[in-house]
Structure 1
């Protein structure tokens, strides 16, 4: 049986070829646009669906279309380009499921800008909050069909949010581990140098 707890935290050198873009506040305007476009499209379709259709099926398909495109775009494109993070899943030959959380190599200065980071995380956090509100609003008004729609949108939004938060935490752990290893190596080098100097002095004496 596949285990969903089997995770891998890796740092890959993807996107490092885009050095010429680093001086721009928003290096990928198309990615930034679509990061918000599909999310806003799903919300607008949900809020104003009664104005363009009286059929629940049509409304459901339109909203699901926007939500699905948003999930795929954020998971596979905008996270990698805007903040240098990516998460995905693969299954081994024996059926074991592995969740992989990747962070782009290099310092934050070289992998993202403040504008891109702010836009990415605000869009990633605000939308799930709104869908939670819609879920409870439908629950208390007994609109169970619409509650299903908002639940689907909420689950997909939260999945991306969780994946990228996990990537962010993993990248910080990697930096901490690297710093600890560096300090350990420095201390070991100094200890070895001190021991060597002491041994040399004793021999000469």
Structure 2
């Protein structure tokens, strides 16, 4: 091996966004877990835990999702009263240049947070604390909403990429055929 050869290690492109992405997730989980040691009032635990989880939901949906993976989703009700999912993604060139570590951190923390809430819910059920299951249910619902929204958004972005690629290939084949027949 060449001793002068340096291994280029990719760093986080958006360390502040990554920090806050993880901070809000861990704040809600940490407060819920540690609150039993310091606070005896369930209402305070419920309100603060749900508030921190709602902050995490908003940050992921509106800030870190856009910056770390280039995706954004929302849900609207149309004139017929039906729920319609809306998706936004960066152009394909920009998506291809997204930082792999940022993307990895985004997706793994998104899923691990939901898994942590499930485990906490199981422990609350085992301890027969139905009121705490309610708080966990709200937090888990917010986590799952982000998982579903971003997963659908990623699938929509892949469909757009495939449609763009097939349209580009078709136009190139068409232009090549036109130029080949115009020479003759």
**What band does the TM-score fall into relative to the shorter chain?**
0.7 to 0.9
1:119 deviates by 1.2
- Structure with the bigger RCO (C-alpha within 8 Å, sep 6+) is 1
Alignment of 1:62 with 2:48, yes or no, is yes
The 5 Å alignment of 1:153-164 reads 153-164=139-150
Which digits, 9 at most, give the CA deviation of each residue in 1:163-195, with x for residues without a partner? 111111111111111111122222223333444
Alignment of 1:86 with 2:72, yes or no, is yes
Alignment of 1:33 with 2:19, yes or no, is yes
Alignment gaps of 5+ in structure 2: 1-9
Larger radius of gyration between Structure 1 and Structure 2: 1
Alignment of 1:165 with 2:151, yes or no, is yes
The 5 Å alignment of 1:1-205 reads 25-93=11-79, 95-107=81-93, 108-110=95-97, 112-197=98-183, 200=184
**In the alignment, what sits opposite 1:9?**
none
Q: 1 CA distance for matches of 2:104 and 2:158?
A: 18
Alignment gaps of 5+ in structure 1: 1-23, 201-205
Q: 2 CA distance for matches of 1:59 and 1:97?
A: 32
1:196 deviates by 4.0
1:91 deviates by 3.6
Q: 2 CA distance for matches of 1:185 and 1:106?
A: 18
TM-score (norm 1): 0.77
Which digits, 9 at most, give the CA deviation of each residue in 1:109-155, with x for residues without a partner? 43x21121111111111000111122222223322111111111110
The answer on whether the counterparts of 2:21 and 2:106 sit within 8 Å (CA) in structure 1 is: yes
Q: 2 CA distance for matches of 1:99 and 1:156?
A: 16
